[in-house]
Structure 1
Amino acid sequence: MEIILASECPPQETLMAPTASSHTRLVTPGEVIYEDTSYMRGHGTYMEDGCQVASVAGYVSQVNRLVTVTPLRQLYQGAVGDTIVGRVTQVGGGRWKLDINSRLDAELKLVNVQLPGAEQRRKNVEDERGMRDLLSEGALVCVEVQKVGQDGVLRLAARTNKFGKLGQGMLVSMSPSLLVRDKQRMHDLPCGARVVFGANGYIFLGPTCDQEQGLSYTDSDEEVGVEVKDLLKGDVMRDIAIATLQDIADT
């Protein structure tokens, strides 16, 4: 993917112009979506006087004859297999509680975490006592949704080296509905930065890590290169976001 400098960047309207295959439609509450009763009513819609009307502000989605409206602002609902970014809020009882931009905090159990060094063994009492050495309150972590409980609590896992604690970088929060659904959530940019697009609306921008070593649970005091620091500037971050969206759309 090619990164365009701010001075060379074309107008934002050009980069974000809808393609011929784009059929996204934005509606407001009370706006008529279809004056046709043959369409099935989905979430975010209701029927009135034979018309399908939007009950929330958002984007219209249609699958065959089923029409739904995805709200512009919503909390993360959760789906098995999603890659998300969370912040530790509580440690104890053999598990971590994580804020994941959802209605409830998610749960990451110690048994579902790969220990440093890719060591695979049964966790013991000593491991439980040292949980804060791995992840303490306030730490950012990249995990995968393993299960959605009947109580609505998401059960998480970090069993491979691509998941784990996130180090130096910047966290950006946005509505999950604004993110493109894509299997590839982690992007290493040629300029030395890694972007993690959490499906829950949390986006992490930081330096790249060793592909073989993966994410670790140790805090690094190593100074980040000047090139990476420049990426944290507002105008550069905007250009990176636009360029990354274009790259995702082209794949």
Structure 2
Amino acid sequence: MAITILPPTVEDVDLSALNSDIDAMSMDSDGGVDLATDKASRPSKRPRLVEGTNITSGIVTPGEVVTDDPQWMRGHGTYTNPLSTSIIATVAGNVQKTNKLLSVQPLRARYTPEIGDLVVGRIVEVQSRRWKVDVAAPLLAQLPLSAINLPGGILRRRTSADELQIRTFFSEGDLVVAEVQTVHSDGAASLHTRSLKYGKLRNGVFLAVTGTGGSGVSSSSVKGGVGPGAGSMSASSTGGVVRSRRQVWTVNTANGGGDVDVILGVNGYIWISKHADGTASASSTTDNVSITRLEEIVSSSIYSSQNDDIAPQTRREIGRLAQCIRVLVQGGVRVDEETVMGAYEASLQVDLEVGDEDDDDDRRKEGREYLEGDKARRILELVLEGK
């Protein structure tokens, strides 16, 4: 980046007044200096940069001039024309000032991986020793074969037979929950699923909410979805998933829905599914089995693509939670455990406010999971009041 050095500026001063002051301060003794003979005034300091001078406020659009002041430095989201000193925005967003550095924070941006992030991703490519995973980042993340639990023990060496059976663990289109282990110099992330709480996702519904900057919310029913059309949602907002909050928890739903698991990926991918206590069921039947055998039994359930039977009550509560997250994103509210649970409880309260005259109408009761219009506005009011 070229740096232009500007000459110091000289302010206009009254020379007559300056000369009178210098005459009063002149020295007449031997060895003194007569300052009155010096007609040139010393250049003043460069005026300090006034905060917000000639800077576009609010939201800027690509190609819009942020400032013409040459004393500002360009940051991310901006560029400078070689023929001028103007700083021009390259993305749509808000202008941020850090000392003399100007940058534009985009309204919508891709997810930037960081070590330790819990993410939900989709397998898009299977290679010889690794999987390529879409985690809503600029580059596809990779999940090495050595970073997963294989049947037979966590410390077993990976052989050529495992490479031939790589599709039996994950194949194209599968959804996985993993943790970011390494971030490379080019920005690509390496994932791992060595913990038993990670692995393949099933028995639920998938939603996509931008984790950085905020964008639309969308969801789609996947292999193991709770029903046809359960994920046909789209919206536009500035919400997103909050980092550094609890991202996996179990909701004890109402109306006989049982327990439902919610996974909020930092990358903005969300998974809501029926709670499956696989570890407890395995331990109850394998009390006298060795640790290696127990690891093999648990791993076989993790990589299974067979979905369990989901009761209609559980399907309705999964759909209700998905609708609550949609309401939050449409209202521009950040998505975390507190807001999701607040929206879910608010939706139950809205159902009670409907009245008891519809309790005998089964169709009305089945349609209460549709949270739009006045219901959505009421839920947002209750959530914001509870903060």
TM-score (norm 1): 0.70
**Residue 124 of structure 1: CA displacement?**
1.7
Partner of residue 80, structure 1: 115
Residue of structure 2 in register with 1:197 after alignment: 264
CA contact (8 A) 2:246 2:337 kept: no
Q: 1:44 offset after TM fit, Å?
A: 3.4
Contact residue 105 and residue 153 of structure 1 kept, 8 A: yes
Q: Is the 8 A contact 1:116 1:217 kept in 2?
A: no
Q: Whose Rg is larger?
A: 2
- CA drift at 1:39: 9.2
Shift of the 69–186 alpha-carbon distance from structure 1 to 2, 3 Å rule, reads: farther
**1:221 to 1:245, Cα distance in 2 relative to 1, 3 A:** closer
2:127 partner amino acid: G
Structure 2, unaligned stretches of length 5 or more? 1-56, 215-239, 254-258, 281-297, 341-385
Deviation string 1:168-212 (CA, Å, 9 cap, x unpaired) is 211112322232122422222122222211122211111223284
How far is 1:115 from its partner?
Answer: 2.2
Helix, strand or coil at the partner of 2:146: strand
* Equivalent position to 2:307, from 201, 204, 221: 221
Aligned to 2:171, what secondary structure does the other structure show?
A: coil
CA-CA distance at 1:79 after TM superposition: 1.3
Superposition CA RMSD, Å: 3.8
Per-residue deviation, residues 31-83 of structure 1 (Å, max 9, x unmatched): 97x9x999986533679xx9998653346778899775432222222111111
CA offsets 1:86-138 (integer angstroms, 9 cap, x no match): 11112221111112222222110010112247633222222222211111111
Distance 1:95 1:44 in 2: 34
Please list, as runs of the form range in 1=range in 2, the aligned pairs for 1:20-35 lying within 5 A after superposition: 27-29=59-61, 30=64
Give, as a single letter, the amino acid of the residue that structure 2 aligns with 1:207: K
Q: Secondary structure at the match of 1:111?
A: helix
Residue from 171, 174, 186 that aligns with 2:248: 186
User: Per chain length, whose mean CA-contact separation is higher, i.e. which structure has more relative contact order (CA < 8 Å, sep 6+)?
Assistant: 1
Distance 1:204 1:198 in 2: 8
CA distance in 2, matches of 1:57, 1:225: 45
**Secondary structure of the structure 2 residue equivalent to 1:151:** coil
Within 5 Å, which residues of 2 pair with 1:37-76? 42-44=75-77, 56-58=91-93, 69-76=104-111
State the distance in 1 between where 2:265 and 2:302 align.
18
1:109–1:57 distance in 2 versus 1, CA, 3 Å: same
Q: Secondary structure at the match of 2:162?
A: helix
Match of 1:135 in 2: 170
Partner amino acid, structure 2, of 1:44: G
Question: AA paired with 1:86?
Answer: G
Q: Hey, what does 2:324 align to over in structure 1?
A: 239
**Partner of residue 273 from structure 2, selected from 202, 206, 215:** 206
Distance in 1, matches of 2:118 and 2:107, equals 21
Contact 1:72 1:175 in 2 (8 A): no
CA distance in 1, matches of 2:144, 2:321: 37
Q: 1:205-229: per-residue Cα shift (whole Å, max 9, x none)?
A: 1122328468811123311132331
Q: What CA distance in whole angstroms lies between the structure 2 residues aligned with 1:182 and 1:146?
A: 16
TM-score, normalising length: structure 2: 0.48
Whole-angstrom CA distance in 2 between matches of 1:38 and 1:197: 43
C-alpha distance in structure 2 between counterparts of 1:246 and 1:37, whole Å: 46
Q: 1:194 to 1:131 in 2, by over 3 A?
A: same
Partner of 2:187: 152
Alignment coverage as a number of residue pairs: 225
Larger helix percent: 2
Answer 1 or 2: which has greater strand percent: 1
